Chain A
């Protein structure tokens, strides 16, 4: 449970640096976007400054052309010199082009277009007034009359009106420029703020991400170190266990080995006494000597079994596919030859092959078959049945007999070393056979178990995982 929580915690922790980096990238993208827009705004503003300048310059020129026309017209009226008239006409002809170019410049500003129309009307009035003065002077021979007309004409007032109109138009353009400048300034301010703020955010996010990654890497390093230390401790423990195991094996081997020497002496010297001093010993003495020899023989068997059991732990396993049916048939033949229980009916089913060590599996079957024969041998019709089949992921073998069985109450003692559930008088044996069976089966990666009902028989099972 703890590991699940911590792994989910680690999952989120590992996402935070990614989040920081993504945020920083987004901030940088936004800054870039705004900066580009800002540049557009400034380019736009530069264009409008130029525009305003063009409008003003056109307006000034229009006014200047009007003044020139009026000066030329007045000059003619006062002096009567016809050479002045072409100057007037030239100035007058310049006006429509000026107005047209103003219209083009101001085409998207309806207010200024209306102002141009007003201006045009005023200019038209100025020119018709000047035309009238010129006509009057041409026809009249008295220059004073024309001069008086000039003095009385409205032209001056109208020209003032034109100047005023042009000023109005110029002011409109100035106002627009000021508004656009202020807008551009605002955009510039916003952009500045955004750049500062966005860069700060990106920077902070990157620093946070970097810090988290650094911390994670440190944690990982420290975790790696812990794992390494634990591994080392585990290896040490394993090698200690191995050493202890080896020590135990060699101890049990030496004990069994060294026990044989005095045992052989006991049995041997009892025998020598029996042979050499037979004439000096009575029947009771000979019986006692026989008891000594029988017991030393039994102890010899115990030691032999213990040695076999001890050797199992050290014998290397030679794994191969084993024809279990062949192994079992061979062992039955051998066991029958060794014992006088050839009246036991042994039924062997088809046995699936397994993967293991031939000599070790032979030992397992030998012990189980000998047991089955031994414990059913006192029946009138002893039957032993051997089966085997694939069950799920395991191959399970069983051997059952109709013998005396055992009390399931003592099941936990069944596979123990030197544990017996029957007396040696009833059934001979050392109590190591099933311990050997269990040790081999477990060593080959399998499991062993048994079921029994007293006086009805017993079934022993062992199973190996399928290869």
Chain B
């Protein structure tokens, strides 16, 4: 049982600086203790479906997924589709965290079952606020399934 780690948040983000700032924002609110950061859609799917480098991972589901949209290899839309097609994973809230404010992207992700859509603010202070607000709401305020 030494390998067992309860993952609270799965952060899927290809931009290192954005990831670091997001982690920092969550950490300052004490939400990043059990956070896993993967750098693209392929890695995210490997993690969620116990494939590739995560094939030996202990069975557990994150409580919140923060998902970027535009990523190399497999993009956020595809990851979202796979999550929402899976009967168990579909219960995990997925918050889209993206630079895109395109109407089409918003509509597409909500259709696929995204639980929230957040446009990353350019300004760091606002970014910090928005990410920590989302973390607090989904991890502490919102009632999740067990």
Which residues of A come within 8 Å of B, CB atoms? 257, 260-265, 267-272, 293, 296-297, 300, 303-304, 307
Please determine whether B101 and A268 come into contact, CB atoms closer than 8 angstroms: no
- Chain A contact residues, majority secondary structure: helix
Instruction: Closest B residue to A269 by CB, please name it.
Output: B17
Please determine whether B127 and A268 come into contact, CB atoms closer than 8 angstroms: yes
A271-B124, A297-B123, A303-B122 known; A264 vs B21 contact (CB < 8 Å): yes
Question: Does B15 make an interface contact (CB < 8 A)?
Answer: yes
The complex places the Cα of A1 from the Cα of B125 at a distance, in Å, of 67
Question: Does B18 make an interface contact (CB < 8 A)?
Answer: yes
Please determine whether B17 and A260 come into contact, CB atoms closer than 8 angstroms: no
Q: Report which residue of A261, A262, A268, A293 has the largest number of chain B beta carbons within 10 angstroms of its beta carbon.
A: A268
Please determine whether A267 and B17 come into contact, CB atoms closer than 8 angstroms: no
The complex places the Cα of A293 from the Cα of B125 at a distance, in Å, of 10
Please determine whether A260 and B21 come into contact, CB atoms closer than 8 angstroms: no
Please determine whether A268 and B124 come into contact, CB atoms closer than 8 angstroms: yes
Question: Does B42 make an interface contact (CB < 8 A)?
Answer: no
Measured CB to CB, the closest approach of chain A to B102, in angstroms, equals: 8
* Residues of B with C-beta under 8 A to A267: 122-124
Please determine whether B124 and A261 come into contact, CB atoms closer than 8 angstroms: no
* Residues of B with C-beta under 8 A to A262: 17
Question: Does B6 make an interface contact (CB < 8 A)?
Answer: no
Q: Pick the contact of A304 from B122, B125, B128 — CB < 8 Å?
A: B122
Please determine whether A257 and B99 come into contact, CB atoms closer than 8 angstroms: yes
Measured CB to CB, the closest approach of chain B to A276, in angstroms, equals: 9
Please determine whether B123 and A261 come into contact, CB atoms closer than 8 angstroms: no
Please determine whether A300 and B123 come into contact, CB atoms closer than 8 angstroms: yes
Please determine whether A264 and B24 come into contact, CB atoms closer than 8 angstroms: no
Please determine whether A261 and B99 come into contact, CB atoms closer than 8 angstroms: yes
Measured CB to CB, the closest approach of chain A to B23, in angstroms, equals: 11
- Can you identify 15 A-B contacts, CB atoms within 8 angstroms? A257-B100, A260-B99, A262-B17, A263-B122, A264-B17, A264-B21, A264-B120, A264-B122, A264-B123, A264-B127, A265-B15, A265-B18, A268-B21, A268-B128, A303-B122
* Residues of B with C-beta under 8 A to A293: 124
Residue interface mask B114-143, A partner, CB < 8 A = 1: 000000111111011000000000000000
Q: Which 10 A-B pairs have the closest CB atoms?
A: A300-B122, A265-B17, A268-B124, A267-B124, A268-B21, A271-B124, A260-B122, A261-B15, A260-B99, A264-B122
- If A260-B122, A264-B18, A297-B122 are given as contacts, then 6 extra A-B residue pairs at C-beta distance below 8 Å, sorted by A number, are A257-B99, A264-B17, A268-B21, A271-B124, A297-B123, A304-B122
The complex places the Cα of A131 from the Cα of B122 at a distance, in Å, of 159
* Residues of A with C-beta under 8 A to B101: 307
Interface residues of B in 5-52 (CB under 8 A from A): 15, 17-18, 21, 24
* Residues of B with C-beta under 8 A to A264: 17-18, 21, 120-124, 127
Which residues of B come within 8 Å of A, CB atoms? 15, 17-18, 21, 24, 99-101, 120-125, 127-128
Instruction: Closest A residue to B70 by CB, please name it.
Output: A257
* Residues of A with C-beta under 8 A to B122: 260, 263-264, 267, 296-297, 300, 303-304
Please determine whether B15 and A272 come into contact, CB atoms closer than 8 angstroms: no
The complex places the Cα of A264 from the Cα of B21 at a distance, in Å, of 9
The complex places the Cα of A271 from the Cα of B99 at a distance, in Å, of 20
* Residues of A with C-beta under 8 A to B125: 271
The complex places the Cα of A303 from the Cα of B120 at a distance, in Å, of 13
Measured CB to CB, the closest approach of chain A to B47, in angstroms, equals: 23
The complex places the Cα of A262 from the Cα of B123 at a distance, in Å, of 11
Measured CB to CB, the closest approach of chain A to B111, in angstroms, equals: 19
Measured CB to CB, the closest approach of chain A to B129, in angstroms, equals: 12
The complex places the Cα of A144 from the Cα of B24 at a distance, in Å, of 186
The complex places the Cα of A154 from the Cα of B124 at a distance, in Å, of 165
The complex places the Cα of A265 from the Cα of B22 at a distance, in Å, of 11
The complex places the Cα of A300 from the Cα of B121 at a distance, in Å, of 9
The complex places the Cα of A267 from the Cα of B122 at a distance, in Å, of 8
The complex places the Cα of A269 from the Cα of B24 at a distance, in Å, of 11
Measured CB to CB, the closest approach of chain B to A230, in angstroms, equals: 36
* Residues of B with C-beta under 8 A to A270: 124
* Residues of B with C-beta under 8 A to A296: 122
* Residues of A with C-beta under 8 A to B120: 260, 264
Measured CB to CB, the closest approach of chain B to A428, in angstroms, equals: 15
The complex places the Cα of A261 from the Cα of B21 at a distance, in Å, of 11
Q: Report which residue of A260, A263, A303 has the largest number of chain B beta carbons within 10 angstroms of its beta carbon.
A: A260
The complex places the Cα of A37 from the Cα of B124 at a distance, in Å, of 112
The complex places the Cα of A303 from the Cα of B101 at a distance, in Å, of 13
Please determine whether B99 and A268 come into contact, CB atoms closer than 8 angstroms: no
Q: Report which residue of B15, B122, B123, B125 has the largest number of chain A beta carbons within 10 angstroms of its beta carbon.
A: B122
Instruction: Closest B residue to A261 by CB, please name it.
Output: B15
The complex places the Cα of A305 from the Cα of B120 at a distance, in Å, of 16
The complex places the Cα of A269 from the Cα of B125 at a distance, in Å, of 11
Measured CB to CB, the closest approach of chain A to B107, in angstroms, equals: 13
* Residues of A with C-beta under 8 A to B128: 268, 271
Instruction: Closest B residue to A297 by CB, please name it.
Output: B123
